[in-house]
Amino acid sequence: MTKLSVNINKVATLRNARGGNVPNIVNVALDCEKFGAEGITVHPRPDERHIRRADVYDLRPLLRTEFNIEGNPTPEFVDLVLKVKPHQVTLVPDDPLQLTSNAGWDTKNNQAFLSEILDQFSSAGIRTSVFVEANPEMVEYAAKAGADRVELYTEPYAANYAANKEEAIAPFIEAATIARKLGLGLNAGHDLSLENLTYLYQNIPWLDEVSIGHALISDALYLGLERTIQEYKKCLCP
């Protein structure tokens, strides 16, 4: 079964735009779980423009599903993750000033750095995932660095889906197949939506998890959060 992890960053962005605690991040996360999400993802950035460090601490003891923290492994991020000990940490090579993550790791040139970071998290009993593009070599070096999983950066797939979905999915099938041969778990995320998720799942049914935030929260404005989560889960059914 492919799990649905809901990224709640956009909910935090809405809260922060007005100040105060509306919408309440913890309540939304717990509702996502109640409505069927199998995980919650957060991506705390140094400027705390959406998820704050305090949110991470507030969420950890209350969540009943999988908690995934993603981000750039700065010393501050590593310290946060080691203190909170989520079920999974996803390493993303984003610059603090980036609007959103827009590339995967060069795992070959960063192998030594990643190995050191991954070892710290693995020693603490935290499952590790590395954000990579659909490039077999990057997948292979993520395995060499000691990752438990890779998360495929799916923005290129989403961007090209409408024009030629067969061509768009091809490199992701190749990368996913390499990951499976290497014994890596497989996640996917970025710009996945109700439009393109089913086709991704049909072609890569061994996905462990998809992490979806922007599109899901946007759809919830029209459909409501409970129905939206159920619609995304339908996309992940055989």
**Which of 33, 43, 50, 140 is an active site residue?**
43
Q: Are the beta carbons of 56 and 89 closer than 8 angstroms?
A: no
**Which of 33, 66, 190, 209 is an active site residue?**
190
**Residues facing 7 on adjacent strands:** 41
- For the question of residue 190 being annotated catalytic, the response is yes
The DSSP string of 81-118 is HHHH--SEEEE----TT-SS------TTTTHHHHHHHH
- For the question of residue 50 being annotated catalytic, the response is no
**Which of 70, 140, 151, 209 is an active site residue?**
70
- For the question of residue 133 being annotated catalytic, the response is no
**How many of the other CB atoms lie within 10 Å of CB of 7?**
25
Q: Which 3 state secondary structure label does DSSP give 129?
A: strand
The DSSP string of 163-216 is T-HHHHHHHHHHHHHHHHHTT-EEEEESS--TTTHHHHHHH-TT--EEEE-HHH
- So which residues are the catalytic ones? 43, 70, 190
